[in-house]
Structure 1
Amino acid sequence: MAKIAYILLCHKDPQGVIDQAGRLTAAGDFMAIHFDARASKADYEAIRTALAGNPSVVFAQRRIRCGWGEWSLVQATLEALYAAVPAFPRATHFYMLSGDCMSIKSAEYAHALLDGESVDYIESFDFFASDWIKTGIREERLIYRHWFNERGRKAWFYRSLEWQKKLGLARKIPEDLQIMIGSQWWCLRRLTVEKLLQFVAARPDVTRFFRTTWIPDETFFQTLVRHLVPGSEIRSRTLTFLMFTDYGMPVTFYDDHYDLLLAQDYLFARKLSVDARRLKEQLGSLYTATGMAFPVSGEGRRLYQFQAGRGRLGRRYAPRAWEAGTSLGRDRVLLIVVCKKWHIAKRLVARAREMAGIEGVDYLFNEDNCPLPDLGGIESTPDKRMRHRRALLKLLSESFRSDRMMICLDPESFDLIRDFYADRSEIRLLDIVCDFSDAYLRGHALRVGLAGEHTPPEVMAGLLPTLRHDMIFEAERLRDAGLPGYERVWQSAEPGANLLPLARFLGISEAQAREILGDGTLFQD
């Protein structure tokens, strides 16, 4: 059975490091920690003291002062490997992590995945043929020497580069290596790691070359693994879910991303916000859990790319990608009452709450003054509710402490209905088919501002057929959508005809449904 030795590079949050080490080793795995030499010595001592009694944790013997884009990150990783390989002879895999990573699957799931195939997981794409690099210098990373950090000493970084170009100081790449590139977050088999460390010891020329390349943590291990291991034994992917913006900045995950993260085809996620306390608590107990199923949908990257693209076109208004990815939860039921006559739907929700104990809210996406509990401001305006709609419903459900909740929607909210049907929760819909007299249509025209008190009668007469057709269209569109859990009741039907559809929709007995329908007053205008 697979045993994982985690290679943890970290530089902050000592308590987070201690907690992470405790969680991951509690399931029988191991950890080697490199704590940045730039970080606080007191923090490092606190970590060592807290983990001194844990035999499944070791520390790199030498702490390196790490800088982004520098060889120091590779050297720190090697130092952790030098400590881990002899300390954990039972480790079958070595998994690279940062302090910003957390597990999004259980150890049971991770071990089964690694046992399923004897391969290395590391992104490894041809440096020159791929488009992995999105911004910044490309070939210059390799053929020129980089002694200055572009982030800390930007002027000298580019000055040095220009001087080398002018003086013709381009260097050759080691002839026997095909330079590869990819994410630094890998998972390698023990034999691969042992071969790699032997190669590093035997080839100081290769180490010397990579010491002055730019961002070598994206090329060093990726190149050497491809050089040492047959391609058939490499899966060119990472097992850590991470994304970058078009500008090369990591996408950060927050409290409302729990369901989305669990649905991704990865074992860990990076990078979690320091403020995502609830998310960290939820994920914290996940690694040692047993018997859990993790259905994978894998939509995270597509959602982000789609929404980022909409933003480029000025069409970002609507739920953001991550908010759309928020789920009510697989065990919850959302009951949607669709009715053009709002007073009828509100009456139904009130009766269901009173007679069947089913919590519900009225037209929360349509009315400013819809009564809602305090949810931290997300409920303050219809626009904000719409932008955060799934997160809002999840918070409402948690506020009601119920796995069933009703909401009212206008039939014109078809796209909103389709969006809720894309959720992982169970959705049921009750379509209340209403009768629309001319008097009602005139009142509707006044309420929505299509007509005023002084609208000429002939104009109103021409408007009514259009309004009636529009309402018929909305009703037919909903019926033709073929949505699961769809039920229909009619305003003009005999009370007995509506019993079964209402009982199925609410999940109650026919007797309770009869009580809610009452003597016909439910549908009174």
Structure 2
Amino acid sequence: MAKIAYVLLCHKDPEAIIQQAARLTAAGDYMAIHFDGRSSQADFAMIRKALTTNPNVCFARKRVKCGWGEWSLVQATLNALESAVASFPRATHFYMVSGDCMAIKTAEYAHRLLDAQDKDYIESFDFFESDWIKTGMKEDRLIYRHLFNERTHKRLFDLSHGMQKRFGLTRRPPVDVQIQIGSQWWCLRRRTVEWILSFLDQRRDVVRFFRTTWIPDETFFQTLVRHLVPATEIECRTLTFLMFSDYGMPVQFYNDHYDMLMGQDFLFARKISPEAQELKSRLGALYAEQGVEFQISNEGRNLYGFLAKRGRNGLRFAPRFWETESTLGRDRELLIVTCKKWHVAKRLVNRLRDVSNIPALAYLFDEEGTDMPDLGGIEATLWKRTRHRRALVRMLFDYYETDRLVICLDPSALDLMQDFCADRAVTRILQIDCSLSDAYLTGHAERIGLAGQQTSSLALERLLPTIRNDIQHEADRIRDVGFDHHGLIRESDSDEQIAEQLMPFFALDHDAALTLARTEHLFTD
């Protein structure tokens, strides 16, 4: 009889991870957990303490700092797989899941399905011949080396990619390996996993190649399984039900999707909305049940496509969500850093990427050129971003697959701060007060068109006090509102004082907060 070792990659919500592990192992299955190395050490300690007495749970031998589209996700998976293979000799299958996945069938049903066919379940389509990649980079994923993360270091990513194209610095995949592509959610037999681990010990050239490909979690296992396993033993499909919107975002499932999910010919669904508490409760109780009959209809994708098409044709029965008031999500946190000196806030959030995995965008409502992901056009102009502010930020939460997001706002944007604070999500504001020299104020006056190169020194002497008072007034207005979650750091504060404010705001430990407080040239003009 099949026994499944679930390979769980996760980075947040320790209580949900503990519950998920308890549910899936209660039916006799196993779980190997990799908790992102960028995430809170306290959260990881909480998970380990809660599950240390569960013999059916193990942890990856080493935590990796993961980044979307990077080799780090593959390395994290391999670390968890190696621990699972060593810890669970009775496991017959290894099933890749994330913290956003939940079972939509019983353990009894899953075991019966896996026993019925001696096969691996993984999407693996020819990388060059198939049309699996709908938009964006295709061949360039492989033939160029990608050393930077496109989401966190977009300019470096684009610069590196552009320079390689300009100078023709291409490379070829390993000649004896046919590159495949498909969903990263798979279920592999024990023999296949052991073959893969053995192959990697012998073929370090293959590992070196994939280390610098872009989004290798969609090609690495897909390629190796097709290379090592006869085609007759591969079921070219995923057992995890997931859909994507027209904007390339994962479709989320809510409370009223329960019956639809039960009818899909899959074992898990991704991704369940953080707000769908009733759905989570019902699915959580489902896995251990026995004797449940499922009527498979598989209408999910067709139904979603039908409704989406009607929306595009103007035949929808309700407005699109950005045309009405939308919410960021009850269980999400929006972290707003506000500072008049934009370069100070930018340095802080750039350094934040080195000490945490919280996505951060600088002054997206103030600068047209802010690095933004493609969200279907809503991000195209400042006017659109501001008009659809909540919808935009919600889409950013979905794009980065996170429940915590940092943005920077100018102190003049009090109306935006108040609007976000009125949302059901938790909004925290960190105000940075900087000293304002006459030289800075003169430059500021020139940037906003109040002064120019020909402005006399006498005119500037009269203008600068007014500008200084105006900036101070903006800062005072923010403090006077009395926001529930408001922090303040000043340029005159010591590193320890700044760290004390950063710890609760970003949910960092003391060392990480102190590292952030000591950002080089943080307040330098």
Q: Quote the Cα distance in structure 2 between the aligned partners of 1:153 and 1:309.
A: 35
Q: Quote the Cα distance in structure 2 between the aligned partners of 1:318 and 1:52.
A: 49
Q: Quote the Cα distance in structure 2 between the aligned partners of 1:101 and 1:124.
A: 21
Distance 1:262-1:162 versus aligned 2 partners, 3 A rule: same
Q: Quote the Cα distance in structure 1 between the aligned partners of 2:169 and 2:313.
A: 43
Q: Name the counterpart of 1:189.
A: 189
Please say which structure displays the higher CA radius of gyration.
1
Q: Name the counterpart of 2:88.
A: 88
Q: Name the counterpart of 2:397.
A: none
Shift of 1:319: 11
Q: Quote the Cα distance in structure 2 between the aligned partners of 1:44 and 1:131.
A: 39
Q: Name the counterpart of 2:315.
A: 315
Q: Name the counterpart of 1:34.
A: 34
User: Aligned pair 1:78/2:78, yes or no?
Assistant: yes
Q: Name the counterpart of 2:296.
A: 296
Alignment of 1:191-230 (within 5 A): 191-230=191-230
Q: Name the counterpart of 1:265.
A: 265
CA contact (8 A) 1:135 1:247 kept: no
Alignment of 1:224-243 (within 5 A): 224-243=224-243
Q: Name the counterpart of 2:16.
A: 16
Alignment of 1:164-175 (within 5 A): 164-175=164-175
CA contact (8 A) 1:134 1:248 kept: no
Q: Aligned to 1:8, what secondary structure does the other structure show?
A: strand
Q: Quote the Cα distance in structure 1 between the aligned partners of 2:44 and 2:298.
A: 37
Q: Name the counterpart of 2:518.
A: none
Q: Quote the Cα distance in structure 2 between the aligned partners of 1:126 and 1:203.
A: 21
Distance 1:319-1:158 versus aligned 2 partners, 3 A rule: closer
CA contact (8 A) 1:134 1:246 kept: no
Shift of 1:247: 2.5
Q: Name the counterpart of 1:48.
A: 48
Q: Aligned to 1:108, what secondary structure does the other structure show?
A: helix
Q: Aligned to 2:16, what secondary structure does the other structure show?
A: helix
Q: Name the counterpart of 1:276.
A: 276
Q: Quote the Cα distance in structure 1 between the aligned partners of 2:83 and 2:272.
A: 27
Q: Quote the Cα distance in structure 1 between the aligned partners of 2:19 and 2:119.
A: 29
Q: Aligned to 2:9, what secondary structure does the other structure show?
A: strand
Q: Aligned to 1:308, what secondary structure does the other structure show?
A: helix
Shift of 1:308: 1.4
Q: Deviations over 1:16-60 (max 9, x none)?
A: 000000000000000000000011000000000000100000000
Structure 2 counterpart of 1:198, one-letter code: S
Q: Deviations over 1:164-207 (max 9, x none)?
A: 01111010111011110000000000000000000111111000
Compute the TM-score of the two structures, normalised by the length of structure 2: 0.60
Q: Quote the Cα distance in structure 2 between the aligned partners of 1:319 and 1:226.
A: 45
Alignment of 1:469-488 (within 5 A): none
Q: Quote the Cα distance in structure 2 between the aligned partners of 1:76 and 1:314.
A: 44
Shift of 1:270: 0.4
Alignment of 1:362-377 (within 5 A): none
Q: Name the counterpart of 2:118.
A: 118
Q: Aligned to 1:293, what secondary structure does the other structure show?
A: coil
Q: Aligned to 1:65, what secondary structure does the other structure show?
A: coil
Q: Quote the Cα distance in structure 1 between the aligned partners of 2:265 and 2:126.
A: 24
Q: Quote the Cα distance in structure 1 between the aligned partners of 2:313 and 2:268.
A: 32
Q: Name the counterpart of 1:512.
A: none
Runs of 4+ in 1 over 6 A off after TM superposition: none
CA contact (8 A) 1:148 1:157 kept: yes
Shift of 1:279: 0.3
Q: Quote the Cα distance in structure 2 between the aligned partners of 1:198 and 1:309.
A: 47
Q: Name the counterpart of 1:141.
A: 141
Structure 2 counterpart of 1:239, one-letter code: L
Q: Quote the Cα distance in structure 2 between the aligned partners of 1:311 and 1:156.
A: 38
Structure 2 counterpart of 1:74, one-letter code: V
Q: Quote the Cα distance in structure 1 between the aligned partners of 2:128 and 2:309.
A: 26
Q: Quote the Cα distance in structure 2 between the aligned partners of 1:319 and 1:52.
A: 49
Compute the TM-score of the two structures, normalised by the length of structure 1: 0.60
Q: Name the counterpart of 1:335.
A: none
CA contact (8 A) 1:144 1:169 kept: yes
Q: Name the counterpart of 1:106.
A: 106
Shift of 1:135: 1.4
Q: Deviations over 1:368-405 (max 9, x none)?
A: xxxxxxxxxxxxxxxxxxxxxxxxxxxxxxxxxxxxxx
Gaps of 5+ in 2: 321-525
Shift of 1:318: 6.3
Structure 2 counterpart of 1:229, one-letter code: V
Q: Quote the Cα distance in structure 1 between the aligned partners of 2:275 and 2:246.
A: 24
Q: Quote the Cα distance in structure 2 between the aligned partners of 1:94 and 1:199.
A: 17
Work out the percentage of aligned pairs sharing the same amino acid: 69
Q: Name the counterpart of 1:254.
A: 254
Structure 2 counterpart of 1:69, one-letter code: G
Shift of 1:158: 1.2
